[in-house]
Amino acid sequence: MNPESTSNNSSSAGPATPTNSRKERGAIAAQACESCRQRKQRCSEERPKCATCQLECKYREPQPTKKDKTLVEILERLKSLEGGLRNLDGKVDSLNARGTFPLSIYGPSQSNPPPASLDPGQSTPWPPPPNVHIQPAAISPASPRDVQYVSATHRMLSWPFLHQVLENKVPNLDLTSLEKDGAAMLLGLQASMSLQVSSAGQVEGLQSGGLSINWETMQRLTKSYFDTFNLIYPIMDRQLFLSEVLPTIASRGFDESSSSTLTCLVFALGEVAISAVQGAPLATYKGRPSGIRGGTAERPPGLLFFNEARRRMGFNLTECSLENVQIFALAAIYYGTCCHHLEFWRMSTSASLACQALLTSNPDVLTTHRGDLVRRTFWHCSIMETCLNMELNIPRTGLDKLESLVGLPDFSGSFSEEDYIGNQASHFQEHFASQIVLRRLSVEFHTTLTNAFGPTNIPNETQISPATVMMKQMAEQLDQWRGLLPVYLRWEEENPGAFSNPAEEMYGDQSMYPPPVPDLHTNFMFSADLDNPPVSYPYAVDIQTASLRTRYYYVKYLIYRPFIFKALHHPEQVTRDDADGVVECLKAMLKWPITMSPTCFHKRLVPCLFFWSQNLLGILLILHLTQQVPILMRIRASLMGTKFDQDANETAGLCIDWIRDLKDTDATALWCWEILKGIYSLEDDT
C-alpha cells in the first residue's frame, strides 16, 4: 500500500509491456464519449465537454471482464448461505426436542452439579483416566449456564473466573463500573481529549487567509483518498467527484454547500492516507517505528481540512440526501483514524440515522443512477453499526429493517478508469461484497447464540440442544463462506498470512504495478517479523485483505469462545466435544493479519481500531490462562499440536506490540495496557 506512489502517477507506473498497452487501449476506448463514437472520430476525452464535438460527454461504462463478473457471483452465493442460516434454527429446534447431551469424559454428571471452585490451581484430569469408561447412554442435561456467550470483550472480563483473576492481578481495575456501564466507560475514556481547532497555514498550497488550495494539491489529496480510503469504504463516486465537484471547487472556491463539506473531508482523509504510510512515526520502540504515523496525538494529519468540514457541517445537518450520509460517514472514519472513539460512534450513528431518513423520505432514490452508491453507503453504515453493537452492546438504530428494501450493491454506477485499474489490482468490489456477506453471517450467529446462551437469557432446562452441535453448524456456514470466495481472495485456514495467489499472479503482466519490494519469493503476504522493513502494497491491498481475513477469524473465535467459559467454570463437565471447541477457539485466535506486518505499521488506515484493541486484550487473557489453568494446560499440551506453542508466542508478541504501540495515542489501548501490565508483568518501557 503506497498512496504517494499512486498520487504521482495518473494511471500507470513504469514502461508499458505489450499486455499493458492492450489493457490501456481497452480502458481508453471504454472512456471515449458516445458522440465521438457515433461520428467515428477521435475523442479528446476532455471533460465535461469534448473538445472535438463541444457536446456534453456521455461515457460508456467499461465492459466487465471475467474477473469483474465474480462480484455478481459473490452476491448470488449470499442467497445459498442465507438459506443455510434459515435452516439452522430448524435444525437446532429439532435437536432441542431430543434434550440429550454427550456424556462427560469424566463419566455421569450429577443433575445439579456443585459450582466449580475458582481456584486456578485446582487439578482437573485431562485426558480422561483409563478407568473411566465412556458409554453412549443418554444422561441428564447439564446446566444451561455451563456455556455462556457474550460478544463484547468487556463483558467477558466479567466472567466469574476472570473477575477473580483480575481482582488479584489488577487491583486498581474498576470491575464494578465495567460490568455495569462498560460501553459508557470505554467510550468515555478519551472524552477529555479534543481535536485542536487550528488556524490555516500548515498545508502545502493552502493560503492562510482561508481555504484557498492550489490545483496540484487538490489532485494529490483526491487521488490519495480514492486510492486508499474509498477502496476500503467505497461510498464516494470518483467519476462524479473528479468531473463535477472538484472543478467547481477549483473555479468558485469553498462555500457552505454539502459538496464543499465533502471535499474538505476527502482532502482530510487524503492527507491521512499519505501520512499513514510516509509520515514520521509518533514514537519508536527498540528501533521499531510506531504504526501511528503523521502529525501528533493532538494534531493528527488532515486536521486543518477536517476543521473546515466541521465548520460547514451545521449547514447540511438536516438534509435528507446521500451527501448528508456521506458527510457523517467520512467524519466518523476520520475520527477513527485519530482514535477518538466516542466521536466515531456519534458520527457512525448519525450516518445510520441519516441513511434511514434518506430512504424513508425518498425511497425512489434507489431507482436513480445513484441507487447503487446509496446501497453501498447503506451497507457501509450497517457494517460499522454491527461492529459497535457486537463489541460495545450499543443498540442498533433500526437500519437493518431496511435491508430487504435496499438490496445488495452491484457497482453498476459510474466507474472511472482509475477505479477500473484499482479494482483489477485490489479487487475492492469483491472485498466489499464479501464483507457484506460476512457481516450478515456474524449478525445471524450473534443473534442465535445470544438467544440460546446469552447471560440474561433464561433457557428451558429440559429443551436445550448441545452447544457443540449448534456451533459446529455455524462454523460450517462460516467455512462455506471462505470456500466460496473468489480464488484471488481465498486463503488456507491454517495460513492466515499467506497470499491468496503466488506473488507472480498478483503482480504479473496484467498489473499496473511492479512486485513489492523486497521481492516476494515466499507465499506470505503478512509477516510476524516486525523488525524488518514492511512491504508496500498499492491500493491498500494489505488493509483490505487483512480486514477481511481477521473478521473471519474473529467470528469463528466468538462462535467457540463459550467453550472457554465452560472449561474455566465447569471443568468437571467438559466433554471431548467441549475440548474440541476449546481447540477451535484457540486456533481462531492465532496471528490475526491486522496485527502482522505490513498492516500493523499503517494503523491509521485500519478500520475500527478500538474494536481490535479490545479483542486482542481478550485473546491475550485467554492465552495467559492456557498456561495457568490445569484443564486448559492439558488441552493445549495434548490436542493443539506441536506448532501451537510457537504460533501462540508469536500471537502474544503481536498483540502486546499492537496495544503498546497505541497506548500513548488511544485511551482505550492505554486501558488495555494497564490490564496487561498486571497479567503479563509488563513495564511501560518493555
| Residue 285, H or E segment | strand 284-285
Average pLDDT over residues 106-113: 35
Q: How far apart are CA 38 and CA 22, in angstroms?
A: 23
Q: How far apart are CA 352 and CA 327, in angstroms?
A: 11
C-alpha cell, 46: 476532455
Q: Is residue 524 part of a domain?
A: no
Alpha helices (H) along 403-463: 403-406, 417-426, 428-453
Q: What is the pLDDT of residues 377-418, one digit of tens each?
A: 999 999 999 999 999 988 999 999 999 999 999 998 778 899
What lies within 8 Å, CB to CB, of 449 at 6+ separation is: 149, 470, 471, 474, 558, 559, 562
293-to-189, 229, 296, 300 alpha-carbon distances in Å: 22, 16, 8, 9
- Three-state DSSP at 334 gives helix
Query: Residue 494 domain-assigned?
Result: no
Quote the CA–CA distance of 661 and 676 in Å, as a whole number. Answer: 13
579 band by pLDDT with thresholds 50, 70 and 90: very high
What cell does 351 get? 450516518
Share of the chain above pLDDT 90, in %: 62
The fraction of the chain above a pLDDT of 70, given in percent, is 71
What average pLDDT does range 536-541 have in this prediction? 95
- What is the pLDDT at residue 625? 98
Beta strands of 468-539 (E only): which ranges?
none
**Cis-peptide, bond into residue 127, ω within 30° of zero:** yes
Give CA–CA dist 466/473, Å, rounded.
12
Within-domain flag for 663: no
Q: Is residue 182 part of a domain?
A: yes
**Mean of pLDDT values over 220-225:** 98
Computed from CA positions of residues 480, 483, 485, 490, in that sequence, does the dihedral angle turn out positive or negative? positive
HEC string for 356-404: HHHHHHCHHHHHCCCHHHHHHHHHHHHHHHHHHHHHHCCCCCCHHHHHH
Asked if the model's pLDDT at residue 641 lies above 70, the reply is yes
Q: Positive or negative, the Cα torsion across 271, 274, 279, 281?
A: positive
User: 610: closest CA among 370, 313, 388?
Assistant: 388
The Cα–Cα gap between 476 and 515 comes to 35
Per-residue pLDDT, 106: 33
Distance of CA 635 to the CA centre of its chain: 30
Q: Which residue is associated with the grid cell 493528527?
A: 300
Identify whether the C-beta of residue 78 lies closer than 8 Å to the C-beta of residue 408. Answer: yes
**Looking at per-residue confidence, does 70 or 413 come out higher?**
413
Does residue 169 fall inside a structural domain?
yes
Nearest to 283 by CA among 547, 517, 3, 603: 603
Please state the φ and ψ torsions of residue 293, each to the nearest 5 degrees.
Answer: -120, 150
Kindly tell me if the per-residue pLDDT of 132 is higher than 50: no
Q: What are the helix (H) ranges across 466-608?
A: 467-483, 503-506, 541-569, 576-588
Whether 364 has a pLDDT exceeding 80, the answer reads yes
Distances (CA, A) of 296 to 104, 435, 606, 609, 658: 56, 32, 18, 17, 18
pLDDT score of 352 more than 90 = yes
Cα–Cα dist 377/400, whole Å: 13
Task: Report helix angle 322-337 to 303-313, nearest 10.
Answer: 140
Q: Is residue 180 part of a domain?
A: yes
Phi and psi at residue 621, to the nearest 5°: -65, -45
Query: Is 181 part of a structural domain of the chain?
Result: yes
Which three cell numbers mark 42? 477521435
How many other CB atoms are found less than 10 A from the CB of residue 592? 29
CB atoms under 10 Å from CB of 16, counted, come to 13
Nearest alpha carbon to residue 546 among 490, 506, 606: 606
Q: Is the pLDDT of residue 67 over 60?
A: no
Per-residue model confidence (pLDDT) at position 578: 94
Residue 112 clears pLDDT 60, i.e. is over it: no
pLDDT score, position 194: 67
Q: How confident is the model at residue 5 (pLDDT cuts 50, 70, 90)?
A: very low
Give the chain's mean pLDDT. Answer: 81
Length of the chain: 686
What is the mean predicted confidence (pLDDT) over 596-625? 96
User: What pLDDT, on a 0 to 100 scale, did the predictor assign at position 138?
Assistant: 30
Three cell numbers written together for 656: 502486546
Asked if residue 183 is part of any domain, the answer here is yes
Encode pLDDT of 182-196 as tens digits: 888 888 776 656 676
- Can you tell me the mean pLDDT for 228-244? 97
Q: For residue range 488-500, what is the model confidence (pLDDT) as tens digits?
A: 999 999 999 999 8
Domain assignment of residue 181, given as a range: 163-192
Instruction: Tell me the pLDDT band of 326, cut-offs 50, 70 and 90.
Output: very high
Maximum average pLDDT range among 87-101, 164-178, 209-223, 233-247: 233-247
pLDDT digits (tens, 9 = 90+) for 93-103: 443 443 333 33
pLDDT (0 to 100) of residue 463: 41
Contact between 159 and 567 under an 8 Å Cβ cutoff? The reply is no
> Is residue 126 a contact partner of residue 634, using CB atoms and an 8 Å limit?
yes
Cβ atoms < 10 Å from Cβ of 219: 16
390 contact partners, CB below 8 Å, separation of at least 6:
151, 152, 442, 446, 558
Query: What pLDDT is stored for residue 2 in this prediction?
Result: 52
Q: Residue 52: what pLDDT?
A: 64
Residue 27 has pLDDT above 70, yes or no: no
Contacts of 424 (CB under 8 A, 6+ apart): 67, 510, 511, 512
Beta bridge mates, 498: 524
pLDDT at 114: 37
Long-range contacts of 81-85 (CB under 8 A, 24+ apart): 81/437, 81/440, 81/441, 81/477, 81/480, 81/481, 81/484, 82/440, 84/477, 84/480, 85/440, 85/441, 85/444, 85/477
Checking if the pLDDT of 123 tops 90, the result is no
Higher local confidence (pLDDT), 463 or 241: 241
Domain count across the chain? 1
- Per-residue model confidence (pLDDT) at position 19: 40
For 568-599, the three-class secondary structure string (H helix, E strand, C coil) is HHCHHHCCHHHHHHHHHHHHHCCCCHHHCECH
